[in-house]
Amino acid sequence: MRRSRALLISAAVAIAVLASACGGSSTRSSAGAPKSTSGSGTTAATAAPATTTSGTGVDPNAPEVVAPGDIPDTQVFVPVTMPEGYSLSVPEGWARSTSGTTTTFADHYNSISTTSTSVPAAPTTASVQASEVPQLARSVPNFALVSVTTVQRAAGPAVLVTYRAGSAPDPVTGKRVAIDVERYELWRGGKQVTLTLSGARGSDNVDPWKKVTESFAWTA
């Protein structure tokens, strides 16, 4: 009887010790383990950002996007003949205005202007540099000369003055647009035609402008 009671007491003590050990181990494990949270927890903060695909790649069949001042590739050109004895092709649909022997075709940021004058001798880069460039500097807003060269076109050689300038003020806002200008001077038999092409700064009009200047022809 006494032995049974001793065995019961020993068993009870063993159970108590075992329970205490399990509880302490559980407490240490909970305290030492990182806490997991939803949304802004440690896992979410350190995870690499997901890679997404926008699906907005370039579509080769999409319509051409035309920047301000650019003449579109689909632009149609039509021939015009001037009473002063020359002809050229200009973009169809551009507004036309005439003042004396100067005719201008314009559309938004672009313009093509032709002027006929009587000049006894053909212009040269030296003569244009000495006399006409200073006149342009005085009369053209924000004039900045780029170059004076001689180029060959279908109608013959031409002196080309390339410069930068400010456009005429907007009739509503009064603001000016920075423009690039190519001024061609063509001469034959005492007659000079000055062909001036201008467009907004940075416009890609190399091909259209060459098409216009190559189309120039003497008719008289």
Confirm whether 62 is domain-assigned. Answer: no
Confirm whether 90 is domain-assigned. Answer: yes
In angstroms, the CA 162 to CA 197 distance is 10
In angstroms, the CA 143 to CA 130 distance is 16
Can you tell me the mean pLDDT for 157-180?
A: 89
43 pLDDT higher than 50: no
Of 189 and 37, more confident: 189
When pLDDT is cut at 50, 70 and 90, the band that residue 60 belongs to is: low
pTM: 0.69
187 pLDDT higher than 50: yes
Confirm whether 26 is domain-assigned. Answer: no
Confirm whether 139 is domain-assigned. Answer: yes
Its domain, for residue 104, covers: 77-218
pLDDT of amino acid 206: 94
Of 203 and 46, more confident: 203
Average pLDDT, the chain: 79
171 pLDDT higher than 50: yes
Total tally of structural domains belonging to the chain:
1
Please state, for a pLDDT cut of 90, what percent of the chain lies above it.
60
For 64-85, the pLDDT digits (tens) are 455 567 899 899 999 999 999 9
Confirm whether 199 is domain-assigned. Answer: yes
We report the CATH number of the domain holding residue 84 as: 3.40.1000.10
Confirm whether 96 is domain-assigned. Answer: yes
Confirm whether 110 is domain-assigned. Answer: yes
pLDDT of amino acid 66: 52
Confirm whether 160 is domain-assigned. Answer: yes
